[in-house]
Amino acid sequence: MALPNYIDLAIVGAGVQALTLTTHLLQKRAKYDHKFLVFDPSQTWLSQWQQQFAAQQIPSLRSPAVHHPDPNPHQLRTFAEHRHNELFPPYDK
């Protein structure tokens, strides 16, 4: 990917914290879209998280209902409300 000559904001690392920050920025100001770049050697989101959970053989969080990257802790519940065939408990603990 060719890098632009100038960016407003560089986010180093594409982990949980960076994903939350990115979500927060885009929810606050849609105009931030295309104003920043996220740098990570894996070139994808949550690679370290995925590797660490795989190493510990943890398939899912036990209490994920409010522990997710969206700044709004209730957002996953709202998202899951009408998706009974895709998302089911234990997301709701």
- Provide the binding-site residues for ligand FAD, judged by CB under 6 A: 12-18, 39-42, 47-49, 52-53, 56, 58, 61, 67
Q: How far is CA 59 from CA 4, 19, 55, 62, 78, in A?
A: 38, 20, 10, 9, 22
Q: How far is CA 47 from CA 51, 69, 88, in A?
A: 6, 14, 24
Task: Give the residue with the Cβ less far from ligand FAD, 12 or 28.
Answer: 12
Task: Give the residue with the Cβ less far from ligand FAD, 28 or 67.
Answer: 67
Residue 36 Cβ vs ligand FAD, minimum distance, rounded to whole Å: 14
- Closest-by-Cβ residue to ligand FAD is 15
Cβ pair 60, 32 in contact under 8 A? no
Residue 82 Cβ vs ligand FAD, minimum distance, rounded to whole Å: 26
Task: Give the residue with the Cβ less far from ligand FAD, 61 or 88.
Answer: 61
Cβ pair 87, 61 in contact under 8 A? no
